[in-house]
Amino acid sequence: MDYLAEYERWLASDALTAEERAELEAIRGNDEAIKDRFFAPLSFGTAGLRGVLGTGLYRMNRFTVGAATQGLANLILQNGEAAMKRGVSIAYDSRHMSPEFAQLAASILSANGIQVLLYDELRPTPELSFAIRYYGTIAGINITASHNPKEYNGYKVYWEDGAQLPPKEADVVAAEMGALDFFKDVKIADFEEMKAKGLIKMLDWQTDEAYLKQVQAVAVNPDCIRQVADEFKLVYTPFHGAGYRLVPEILRRIGYKHILCVPEQMVIDGDFPTVVSPNPENKEGFNIAIEIAKKNDVDLIIGTDPDADRTGIVLRNKEGEYVTLSGNQVGVLLIDYIITARKLTGTMPAHPAVLKSVVSTEMARSAAEKNGVACFDTFTGFKFLAEKIKQFEATGSHQYLFAFEESYGYLAGDYARDKDAVTASMLIAEMAAYYRTKGMTLYDAMQTMYEKYGYYCEQTISITMPGVSGLERMKELMVELRETPLTEVAGDKVAYARDYQPGVRTCVATGATEQMELSGQNVLYYELESGTSFIIRPSGTEPKVKVYIMAKGSNMAEAQARVEALAAAAKEIVK
């Protein structure tokens, strides 16, 4: 694409406002800045769009959102009048332009004769997935960039099962989007007029009630909360986002009496002023919550990201220090707890299973299988976990108990098909109460997990590659690694190499290959002779390459040493 010509085409359009034109004029003569905004359109994948807010082809703005929505409208029109009447559910988070983009999407869909169900204010991502299934809409749109920095926003599209858009439908939307003129081919109706005609209907507290009823039904053994409710306190923060109302509400409904919310972070603000990044993976975001916990003698802090689909926790250890648990650790704790509680309450199904992504800890498999529960891997991304759940439903082979990713995403129950921080917060709080009845904290419980299932240690390294050059380098890196395969990492020889693009596993010693169940993803997975896993995967939503290291040792020190050695090597391999 001729980015300079595209830049001039945008400037020449009478569709731009004075402010948008001034934004583009401000970069005139700056070739790098122009190229960064116009070298290509934002790619529409199965997760939709995600990018930095601003004017330009490679930015999140009313034109890119408009084109994506018209592309989705064209897909729905191809599915006929019944699909149009079923309509589209729309939700949004606390980010800048989220309400505006949601209203724009509603105006475009209704202009195309498609029914719209739009939430009246910000809601958790999983409640969007729930609404699709509950109201039977053909699709859903969520305006969110999850836990990305404040400069970002995104546009996630879901299909009728409540999971993210499947590849076939995503390809149609991408093709339709690529064929239209952003400035001329998008139909837009007056929002208030479409509301008056009934083509846009607003979702309110009644949908919240239906959703919360389903969430509460996922609780396994809430009786343990009643045993400790008088004295158990916890701290909660929504990081200025969509969990601010429903997470404290579900905790109250299951019996908690002392929920201390972080006042500064209960304020809805797309600037996320109290944190460097609104990501529950980062301990610094919990600084204010930790101070509240110290003052109130609290062991457990729960935090959810801006769209309330990811959950992080902070605990007090034996020394009285507040420490974080990783997504892997929380996943293992929840697997063990759910299995234990199901057995205690007599609710274990005949063929139980847990699900995890290929880059999530193998400790989860140990925890499941040692308790007689099957464990299945999927690719990274909750849509793949949702596909496996759908497969179980179709075949009746298993009933899933719990699904998780190392990136702090968890799901239980059948009401939604995306990770849910509301349900995860509830289950974590229930689990904490259970261990309190045993005289233990969740920190104590994690130490017990290592004794039961082995000493596992993991680390995820994210190497940012921003801009046009970064995208090119990400592609080059994966080509180089396939052309010149790794044979060792930090002196640890590669025993088997898995390339998930063709879905082939190769024995390095003999060259023998075997076909794997999973294929079609740009992931390289190295099984090292020590039993450690070394995985390289370009992110599908952010300009970075991720390296996942998963080790097991005879004790924690040994496992950590292996991870540290491989982490140092990773920074030399991925650059």
What gap in Å lies between CA 274 and CA 259, rounded to an integer? 20
* Domain covering 455-573 assigned CATH 3.40.50.720 in the classification: no
Q: Are 309 and 425 in contact (CB under 8 A)?
A: no
SS3 breakdown of the chain: % helix, strand, coil, rounded to 5? 40, 20, 35
Quote the longest CA-to-CA distance of the chain.
70
User: Taking 90 as the threshold, does the pLDDT of residue 129 lie above it?
Assistant: yes
Nearest-CA neighbor of 2 among 55, 40, 50, 45? Answer: 40
What gap in Å lies between CA 361 and CA 30, rounded to an integer? 45
Nearest-CA neighbor of 489 among 553, 551, 556? Answer: 551
Looking at residues 115-137, what average pLDDT do you find?
98
Question: Is the pTM of the predicted complex or chain greater than 0.85?
Answer: yes
Token pair of 142 as six digits: 């969520």
CATH class, domain 211-324, is alpha beta
Break the chain into its structural domains and give their ranges: 40-203, 211-324, 455-573
Looking at residues 463-484, what average pLDDT do you find?
88
User: Taking 90 as the threshold, does the pLDDT of residue 471 lie above it?
Assistant: no
Structure letter (DSSP) for residue 546: E
- Domain at 40-203: CATH code: 3.40.120.10
Looking at residues 461-472, what average pLDDT do you find?
84
Using DSSP bridges, classify how beta strands 49-52 and 300-304 pair: parallel, antiparallel or unpaired: unpaired
Looking at residues 174-186, what average pLDDT do you find?
95
User: Using one digit for the tens of pLDDT, what is the confidence trace for 405-445?
Assistant: 999 999 999 999 999 999 999 999 999 999 999 999 999 99
Nearest-CA neighbor of 527 among 478, 573, 486? Answer: 486
What gap in Å lies between CA 158 and CA 104, rounded to an integer? 17
User: Taking 90 as the threshold, does the pLDDT of residue 541 lie above it?
Assistant: no
Secondary structure (3-state) at 490: coil
Catalytic-role residue among 107, 110, 146, 357: 146
* Least confident window among 39-53, 250-264, 511-525: 39-53
Say yes or no: do domains 40-203 and 211-324 share a fold: yes
The beta-strand segments (E) located in 529-564 are: 533-538, 544-553
530 is catalytic: no
Using DSSP bridges, classify how beta strands 139-143 and 88-92 pair: parallel, antiparallel or unpaired: parallel
